[in-house]
Amino acid sequence: MAKILSKKKKENVEGALVTSKVTNNTIEKKRQEVLEKGKKFKYPVQYSKHKLVINTIIIIIVVAIITSIAGWFQFYKAQSTSTFSYRVSLFLPLPVADVDGEKALYSDYLAQYRSNISVTERQEGSLNNEEDETRRSNYYKRQSMDNTVANTYAIKLARENNISVTDDEIEEVFNEHRKTSNAEVSESVFNKIIEDNYKLSPKEYRRMFIELPLLKQKVSAKIDTDAEKTKNNIAKKLSNNDGNFEEISQEYGQDVEVSSPGFVKSTNIDGGRTKVALSLEKNEVSKPFISKSGDGYYIVKLLDKKDDEVSYSYIKIPFKEFDHRLTELREANKISEYITVE
């Protein structure tokens, strides 16, 4: 019996040796098996790396979705006007409206609103009750939206008509803004005034209160051929009637504006009328020019000068075509506002 068991054991060992014997046909397979077994011990992290990448991607997607929803609620439902929201809108070009296919930037809307409400609150202080505060806030939100829509339309027309504003033009107006009733403040002091009163950086101030108004001014002049024709006719009539503004007022009626503001400071910021008046002799009439406020052509007549004050009359030929086209866009439902503003 012992001999039989010994013989079977020997046969089993020999069979195992035959089974595991490496031949030319199986050598590559065996080599791969050995390497794979070795990798499990040498690089155990690689086997979980793929799963880690998938989990990371899932987390990123979930965070992005949550952030997007929170951002959408913050801007388009809650309509936050906080400093944080404004800074985010400067980084992300979020739209607040669509103007004939041109996207109006949320950052422009917030810059308009925040600067207007900041100046007003500093001047008027807090109102008596929450209802009045809400009414004031809504008023400036509506005004800011209207200005943003108009500026966006000006940007669209400027691109179509190859109109632009140069850095030199911006700096010229910026330097005029630095003039006060008594003197010209330094740029550093004026920058501090901007930040304290308007809650804007100097760069943001240049865009909102200089660059965009100048662009709208140039666009308005370009497209308003009727105003240009009226301006030329009035200038010709004034050269033949010794600068009689009263005759112009009677002839053109509501189509023009004739006014005499009385004595004003020589540093008065009024779209450039005071500056032009200071360059004239008494009773001299200027050539037509476009106001830096961008609302039309002006013709100025110097009435008197004294010390640091000047008195003049002016004729205003308003730009109407730009507003007319904007009204047509609204009536044609080509202006879409993405937030509800009363």
Enumerate the domain spans of the chain. 2-42, 83-224, 226-318
Q: Which long-range contacts (CB under 8 A, 24 or more apart) does 40-44 make?
A: none
- Structure confidence at residue 17 (pLDDT): 44
Cβ contact 232:289 at 8 Å:
no
Cβ contact 109:96 at 8 Å:
yes
- Dump pLDDT digits (tens) for 202-241: 999 999 999 999 999 999 999 999 999 999 999 999 999 8
Mean of pLDDT values over 271-290? 93
- Structure confidence at residue 245 (pLDDT): 94
Share of the chain above pLDDT 90, in %: 61
Amino acid present at 149: V
Q: Select the more confidently predicted residue: 49 or 69.
A: 69
* The two three-digit tokens of residue 275, written as one number: 């500056």
- Structure confidence at residue 74 (pLDDT): 84
Determine the Cα–Cα distance for residues 115 and 124; give it in Å rounded to an integer: 14
Mean of pLDDT values over 188-202? 93
- Structure confidence at residue 249 (pLDDT): 94
**pTM, to two decimals:** 0.78
CATH of domain 83-224: 1.10.4030.10
